[in-house]
Structure 1
């Protein structure tokens, strides 16, 4: 049996209302879920999904006005504590990862997030400058 947890509305674009959690699951089930997740997404990756999302979350935290992608006002964003902001950014990372499987490039704040399938990376560029690279393999 696969464990599921209900996620906030902003992240339901990823897997409907559910996301896999590995609490108490066997290694076989974890590998199966990761394989299934890869099959459902257009981005190929070899690293653990959780590690990619952690790196992506850290990179997105540095982007000014990233809350606009989540359709939040600056006032609403300012009212959140640090933990709540990190959860929102993690949701954003999930959504962007899924979205980059269908669109090669997306805008977040004043940055451009691009999936480079030849190099197996996600690039975050601010204007003409490369800001961060998230390795997928």
Structure 2
């Protein structure tokens, strides 16, 4: 079905990548341990988070809830947002 959006994809992508990087243990998606993640340069970390944001953005069109690390991404079609949830915090990425 796909994730519908009205904002510039580059803006959504950057916000989503930034929000994903805040989720504890998200790098396990790449089968990395914390030490492996921390050994990456800032640029490498940003590129990996960007790749993950792309993959998850499109995956949310098929499955509106995806668990990553100690959190999850939730695509709310009716509100046109992606919620990045972790413990008791929620970051909202607006799609329109």
TM-score, scaled relative to structure 2: 0.92
User: Residue 35 of structure 2 aligns with which residue?
Assistant: 75
Q: 2: distance between equivalents of 1:42 and 1:130?
A: 26
Q: Is 1:113 aligned to residue 39 of structure 2?
A: no
- For residues 1-137 of structure 1, the aligned pairs below 5 Å read 42-127=2-87, 129-137=88-96
Q: 1: distance between equivalents of 2:50 and 2:78?
A: 25
The list of structure 1 runs, each at least 4 consecutive aligned residues, that deviate by more than 4 angstroms after superposition, is: none
How many residue pairs end up in the alignment? 96
**Could you say what the CA RMSD is over the residues aligned between the two structures, in angstroms?**
1.2
Q: 1: distance between equivalents of 2:24 and 2:30?
A: 13
Q: 1: distance between equivalents of 2:49 and 2:56?
A: 10
Q: 2: distance between equivalents of 1:52 and 1:92?
A: 13
TM-score, scaled relative to structure 1: 0.66
Unaligned runs of 5+ in 1: 1-40
